[in-house]
Structure 1
Amino acid sequence: LIDKPEGMTSFDVIRDLRKKLKTKEIGHAGTLDPMATGLLVVLVGRTTKLSNLMLNKIKTYEAEITFGFSTDTYDRMGKVVEKLDTFHLTQTQIESALAHIKAQTTQKPPIYSAIKVDGMKLYEYARKDIAVDIQDKDVTIHQLETTKPFQDNRFECIMTVSKGTYVRTIAHDLGIHLGVPAHLSKLRRTKSGEFEIENASRLDQDLKPVLTLVDYANTLEKVSVDDYMIPLIKNGIRLDERQTTIEVPFTAISKTGELLAIYQKDIKDYKPIIQLGV
C-alpha cells in the first residue's frame, strides 16, 4: 500500500517501485490522477493477476470542491472554460445538491479520461478536437457528505463510490446543478475495499507486504470441492453451478482445506484467476 504524493502519476509510482524492488512484475489496482494523493494498492509478482478483482472494490475519497470556475478536465489542473466572479451559495443549497447527486445511478465520464470509444481514448479525442458521443456509465454513490462547510467559495466532503465513478464529474455536475461553475480542487483516496490509508507507506519509507497472496485467498468465501476436481482445478478448469452458485470471488479448497485457486464469476460460469500452492 502506497501513499501517493501529489504530482506523480500512478505509473510514476510503479516505475519507482520496479527499481526499488528490482522486479518488473508490478501493477496497481486503480489509477490516481497526478493531482490526487493517497492510497494506491500495489500488486507485486503473481498478485498482479488479482488486478481486476481489486479494481472492482468500492473506494473512499476526501475531496475539496471549489466554485467560481470550471475547467475542461473538471479539476484545477485543466484549462478554465467558464468563470463566474459573483455568485451566492448557502450550505443548505450545497447539501440539497449533494443529496441530488448522491441519488444518481449514472454518470457521464469526463472527456479527459482513459475510457476507450472505438479503440481510442477519450482524452485523445479531446486533444485532437474531435467530437465523440460519451455514454453514461452506471455508478453507485454510497456516501456523499460535507466534512468542512462552505467557506471562501469551497467546501470539503467525503464520498464512498463504486468502481469507475469519477469524482471530477461529481464536482462538475454539482456546479451545473447549482448554476455555478465548479471544479475539483483537492482529492485524497483514503480507502479501497478493505485497504486503508493508515496502513500505507510513503515511497521514501521501507516497504513491506500488507497482505500476501495466501492471506488474501483466506479473506474470500470458500468453496470446497471433491478430490477428483483437485488436479482439474490445478490445470485451470472453469467451475459451474455443479460446484457453487456464489456471486462473489471465492477460493476453491480441498476437503482437507488446501487452498487450490481463486475464482471469479463470469457470464455463465466461474473462471480461475490465479492458482495457489504452485
Structure 2
Amino acid sequence: MSLISKAGKEYVCIMQVHCDYKMDELKEIVNQFIGEIYQRPPVRSSVKRRTRKRRVYSIDILETEGRLVLMKIASEPGTYMRKICHDIGILLGCGAHMRELRRTRSGIFTEDSNLVTLHEISEALYMYKHCKDESDLRRILLPMEFAVCGIPKVVIDDDAVNAITYGATLNAPGVVAFQNFKKGENVAIMTLKGEIVAIGESNINSNELQNVKKGIVVKPKRVLMERDVYPKGWKKNEKD
C-alpha cells in the first residue's frame, strides 16, 4: 500500500569516514543535513538521477569507533542514506561511505513492535501449513486498519458503506463523524465498527464539512472492503 511506502522512515546506519576527524567538527557537519536538503540519487539507484528535495527530521550519532560512525536517521521516504554519508565525507574533506544500513521504522511500523523479516514469515507459514500451528502467523498478520493509523478518518453511516464499495463518492449525508483534514488530503473512510472501507481524497476541508448538508466529501481512490458485506442503502432510489 502506497500509504506505508510513502510514510516517514527511520534507519540505523554505519558510516565509515576515510580519515581521522574531530567529533565536534563531525557533529557540526551532520547537523547541516537536518531539515530540507537537496539530493541526487546515487548511480546505483532505481529512479532517475535528478536533483530533488527531501526532508531529514533528525540525525543522531549513537556511537563511534575509530573511523566508524553509528547513526540513527529519520527522514522522508526516498531519502538516500548512502548519499548522506557520501556528502558528509565531502564536507569533512576526505570522503566517507555507508558500510551497513537497517530500516527500523516505516510509518507506524517499528522494528521493536511489528516489523518482521521474510525469514520469520516463511517460518510462520511453514508452521501453519505443516504443523497446524497458527500462533506465529497471528502475531505477524495485522488488521489492515493499522495501515491508516497516521491519516485522518471519516466515519460513515451503515447505509452508505455498500455504495462506497461499488465506487460511489462519499457525500455529506453519509458522514457520521470525522477528524480534521484538508482539501486534497488522503482520508480513511471507516464504518461505525471501526472497519476500513476505502481510502480516498477529500473534496473539501473538515471546516467546510461542519456547515454543509450535501455535496461530495471524499472521492474513493482505493476500495478495501469487499462488496455486499453491508446491505444496500440505496434501494429507495432504484426503479422497479
TM tier relative to shorter chain: 0.5 to 0.7
Query: How far apart are 1:224 and its partner, in Å?
Result: 2.8
Find the partner of 1:66 among 16, 21, 29: 16
TM-score, structure 1 length as denominator? 0.59
Superposition pairs of residues 195-214 of structure 1, within 5 angstroms: 195-198=109-112, 199-202=114-117, 203=119, 205-206=123-124, 207-208=136-137, 209-214=140-145
Q: Could you say which residue in structure 1 is the equivalent of 2:224?
A: 275
Whole-angstrom distance in 2 between the partners of 1:219 and 1:196: 14
Tell whether the 8 Å contact from 1:223 to 1:253 is kept in structure 2 after alignment.
yes
TM-score, structure 2 length as denominator? 0.67
The one-letter amino acid of 2:84's match is: I
Cα RMSD (Å) of the superposition?
A: 3.1
Superposition pairs of residues 173-192 of structure 1, within 5 angstroms: 173-192=87-106
Tell whether the 8 Å contact from 2:4 to 2:147 is kept in structure 1 after alignment.
no
Tell whether the 8 Å contact from 2:20 to 2:67 is kept in structure 1 after alignment.
no
- Is structure 2 residue 189 aligned with structure 1 residue 252? yes
Query: How far apart are 1:109 and its partner, in Å?
Result: 1.2
The one-letter amino acid of 2:190's match is: I
Residues 2-56 of structure 1 deviation map (CA, whole Å, 9 limit, x = unaligned): xxxxxxxxxxxxxxxxxxxxxxxxxxxxxxxxxxxxxxxxxxxxxxxxx211111
Residues 176-213 of structure 1 deviation map (CA, whole Å, 9 limit, x = unaligned): 11111110001111111111213444415425234122
Tell whether the 8 Å contact from 1:237 to 1:272 is kept in structure 2 after alignment.
no
Whole-angstrom distance in 2 between the partners of 1:276 and 1:219: 19
Whole-angstrom distance in 1 between the partners of 2:158 and 2:22: 65
Whole-angstrom distance in 2 between the partners of 1:160 and 1:218: 19
Tell whether the 8 Å contact from 2:54 to 2:78 is kept in structure 1 after alignment.
yes
Task: Structure 2: give runs of 5+ residues left out of the alignment.
Answer: 125-135, 205-217, 228-240
Secondary structure of the 1:263 match is: strand
Whole-angstrom distance in 1 between the partners of 2:54 and 2:150: 26
Assess, with a 3 A threshold, how the Cα gap between structure 1 residues 258 and 175 changes in structure 2: closer, same or farther: closer
Q: Could you say which residue in structure 1 is the equivalent of 2:197?
A: 261
Superposition pairs of residues 145-160 of structure 1, within 5 angstroms: 145-149=60-64, 151-160=65-74
**Count, aligned residues:** 191
Task: Structure 1: give runs of 5+ residues left out of the alignment.
Answer: 1-50, 69-86, 117-133
Assess, with a 3 A threshold, how the Cα gap between structure 1 residues 115 and 181 changes in structure 2: closer, same or farther: same
The one-letter amino acid of 2:30's match is: L
The one-letter amino acid of 1:106's match is: Y
Secondary structure of the 1:105 match is: strand
Superposition pairs of residues 1-278 of structure 1, within 5 angstroms: 51-68=1-18, 87-116=19-48, 134-149=49-64, 151-198=65-112, 199-202=114-117, 203=119, 205-206=123-124, 207-208=136-137, 209-216=140-147, 221-225=152-156, 229-239=160-170, 246-247=181-182, 249-254=186-191, 256-257=192-193, 259=195, 261-265=197-201, 270-278=219-227
- Percent same amino acid at aligned positions? 19
Whole-angstrom distance in 2 between the partners of 1:266 and 1:173: 39
Structure 1, 171-180 or 191-200: larger mean CA deviation: 191-200
Tell whether the 8 Å contact from 2:7 to 2:107 is kept in structure 1 after alignment.
yes
Whole-angstrom distance in 2 between the partners of 1:184 and 1:103: 20
Q: Could you say which residue in structure 1 is the equivalent of 2:130?
A: none
Secondary structure of the 2:181 match is: coil
Query: How far apart are 1:238 and its partner, in Å?
Result: 4.1
Tell whether the 8 Å contact from 2:13 to 2:70 is kept in structure 1 after alignment.
yes
